Structure 1
Amino acid sequence: MPSITRRPSESSGRRAQVEADVFAATRRLLDQGMSFTELGVQQIAAEAQVARSTFYAHFEDKADLLMRLAVGTMGESFDLTSAWAPDDGFDALAQTFVRVVAVFREHSSVLRAIAEVSTYDGAVREFWGEQLSRFVGSTVAGIDAERDAGRTPGSVDAEISGRLIVVAGQHAIVDHIMRRDPAEDASFAWELAATWWYGVYRRP
């Protein structure tokens, strides 16, 4: 008699595999230069070698798929940036941005799709705003701490400056990876770090 205690884990494992296959298939198609808007569920399912009905058993729709794809990208970026602290210094900040740019390059097709879909899909646009808000909140807290410690001038508006450097920085990174050669990534990361360090944190 088969053990019923193994069924949930087997089901969970199968679900994870299907989702991984769909994620990989979608990225392959996007990496080929396909527009996410024009990419059909049937095409994604065929590439992932699953049935269309299986796709809908795991994802509400294409927007749900795209948002879940993007979560991984933003999670990696957040982990990198949140690991840096002002005490680590400017060079460490610049190296952090080198790694962030590398993550964005790796997932550039997904970011391109997010930018494309967020122009007409309110749910995706709201999702992306919420993802950025994580970075903003963490950055604002860091600026507040530096200001309270007297290392950043009290005149700095943490909320405004935090949102400015996060939102503008994200747009700048996306623009850079879409337009510029990877050989320029280190120089770009240095300039972005300088904007944070000498601008918001007001280091001499």
Structure 2
Amino acid sequence: MKFLLFFLLSLICFAQKLDTINLNQVEVKNYSKYKQFRPKYKKVVRLTDHTSFGLKIFSNFLLPNEKEIEIVAIEILFESEIQKKNYCNEYYYFKPIITKSVDNKTSLIDEKWFSVDKDYAGKYIFPIHLKLKPSEVKNYFIGIESSYENTFCSEANGYFDLIETKKKSDIFVHFNDKPNSGFKKQELFGNYALNYVIYYK
């Protein structure tokens, strides 16, 4: 019986280690043979997360003008200027999400958490398989949810990149410590989107 309990405990610990991926340790697959699309933008800005329990942030999922596309990967970029800010946590977690609306809780891509080191600058490409007709999905949203191990942090916890887009895009935010508050449109971030690139065929 003790052996069985030890075996189950080992499996749980091993599974937990696999549940998150450190971005600095990921071998990036070469997606150069695919088409790529990045929303046209004017500048990149850093959005600092001052919450303790994390948040969900969504923007319009801007797509290329094609009749139909099959997305094979999405690249999340961290390229804004590093600010001299003492983040409480040495790293934090984020989860990419794509939904049909900001109120839809079902993500169209697999749920996976990734860890980001403090002041991480770079990119992460994660594979997906999603067929879309861009003309029919004008209201789809791409989002990121954040989470922190140290919830008693008085300083900033983490950050995301936003891009000021040339095309109309809205930002919606939901704070995880207020589960029933819903998403609020951020008027200060008119025409902003998450900083991403899609690879498609």
Measured against the shorter chain, the TM-score band is under 0.3
Larger relative contact order (C-alpha < 8 A, sep ≥ 6)? 2
Which one has the bigger strand percentage?
A: 2
Whichever structure has more helix as a proportion of its residues is: 1
TM-score, with normalisation over the residues of structure 2?
A: 0.27
